[in-house]
Amino acid sequence: MSTRTLIERRKQALGPAYYHFFDEPIHLVKGEGVWMWNSDGRKYLDCYNNVPSVGHCHPRVVDALCKQAGTLNTHTRYLHENVILVAERLAAKLPGRLSVCMLVCTGTEANDLAVQIARRVTGSRGVMVTEASYHGNSDLVGLLSTDGYPASERPDWLAVIEPPNLYRGPYREGEADLGGKYAGLAQEGIEGLQGRGHGLAALMLDPIWDNNGPLVAPPGYVEQLCADTRAAGGLVIADEVQSGYCRTGDHWWGVRHYDVTPDIVTLGKPMGGGHPIGAVVTTPEIAASFAERTSYFNTFGGNPVSAAVALAVMDVIENENLLENATRVGAYLGAGLRDLAGRHETIGCAHGRGLFWGLDLVKDAKSREPLSRAELRHITTLLMQEGILTGTSGRFGNILKIRPPLVFSRENADQALDTLERVFGRL
């Protein structure tokens, strides 16, 4: 079947709300490790997909899924050891008293439940997020995702603050006390919520600020932001859906790059290596306070098949030393991207850490005017035609996102860097 025919069938069957990558979409039929193949048998290096965190179709993950699916699948109103093992192993990898796990199916569900918990435990309603953030697409979490709708439609229980973007934000690289300056912006948001009678239930913190970069915060920023949140009576929710599971290198969790321990951690995409599972992890005290007011149940959250997959993913990360790989290869890739930025004026800067990087693309290096979404889409199309799959992000739609599976090697990084060099050299 032709790609054009499949596109037309998709439009009819799925409707206009769906979109696809690239000027002309590709029809993918197979994945293995860091590679994907289209319907014509062409091979692509996947530099974008963090969902298959341990690589596409890892045999150990596939085997765990198939074996458990052929044995039993049910829900958490019955006992099953897989479900308990997932919770125990997550708790062992998290800091402080983060030890009680509620299993869900997606990152959206995890963030939705986390905010519900924070509101019920604190008695406040207000939530603070960063500008142009993305935390999911439920009715509640969609309102926290400030990149998705006009500012004029934001609810008055929402406080929106600037992310710590040292290239494009109000305070920039080289200025003094950047952490204090960015943290100071949050006070206005907290005071606004208090003045409107909502109080502060939670700070929703994406430790990599994916939709703005990804970014690395200046010293002291995250620590002060969390301290101010708690002083106002709120809880700190670390949204690790994007940054978790070794993605940022050096640590399993993005928030561990800073000297803070959140009150709640939310997980999603990487937990299942391509299979839908997510989690909310909190302290025994917060979990008990929430349970005084309500019970929790999710038909598919924590089913034995998903739990078996999640256990296999953790096994692969540990047995194949993928945290060390993300740290080592991520440093190599980052150095190459920064070198690339120094030689091509279209690349304003390269920022990120581990195996999570963004290139801020500009029309003019001096003014920092961002490339348009259409221009960036054309660049991702050129890269795809050269055999490299990337993504897009950013407040202005001008960030070239590079976020490969954790099995990405130094040789893969060299191929990606060589391809980027060729494409940017032609612009």
Q: Indicate the pTM of the whole model.
A: 0.96
pLDDT of amino acid 3: 80
- The Cα 202–Cα 125 span in angstroms is 8
Q: Which domains does the chain have, with CATH numbers?
A: 3-54+321-426 (3.90.1150.10), 61-319 (3.40.640.10)
pLDDT of amino acid 159: 98
- The Cα 133–Cα 113 span in angstroms is 18
Nearest-10 crossing angle of helices 322-343, 304-319: 70
Answer whether 240's CB lies under 8 Å from 252's CB. no
Distances in Å between the Cα of 208 and the Cα atoms of 155, 198, 344, 361, 423 are 25, 27, 25, 19, 27
| Of 405, 413, 56, 60, residue with least CA distance to 247 | 405
- The Cα 103–Cα 126 span in angstroms is 25
Given strand 356-361, what is the order of strands in its sheet?
347-353, 356-361, 399-402, 391-393
Other CB atoms within 10 A of residue 114 CB: 28
Q: Give 302's contacts (C-beta < 8 A, 6+ positions apart).
A: 75, 76, 83, 86, 103, 104
Burial class of 250 by CB neighbour count within 10 A (0 to 12, 13 to 18, 19+): middle
pLDDT of amino acid 47: 98
pLDDT of amino acid 1: 65
Q: How far is CA 232 from the centre of its chain?
A: 27
pLDDT of amino acid 21: 85
**Which pair of tokens denotes residue 136?**
């999911």
Ranges in the chain, pLDDT < 50: none
Q: What is the pLDDT of residues 148-192, one digit of tens each?
A: 999 999 999 999 999 999 999 999 999 999 999 999 999 999 999
Answer whether 37's CB lies under 8 Å from 44's CB. yes
Q: How far is CA 360 from the centre of its chain?
A: 18
Other CB atoms within 10 A of residue 253 CB: 22
Q: Give 2's contacts (C-beta < 8 A, 6+ positions apart).
A: none
Residues counted in the chain: 427
* Range 277-292 burial, b when 16+ CB lie within 10 A, else e: bbbbbbbeebbeebee
Using only the alpha carbons of the chain, give its radius of gyration. Answer: 21
pLDDT of amino acid 99: 98
Q: What is the pLDDT of residues 106-155, one digit of tens each?
A: 999 999 999 999 999 999 999 999 999 999 999 999 999 999 999 999 99
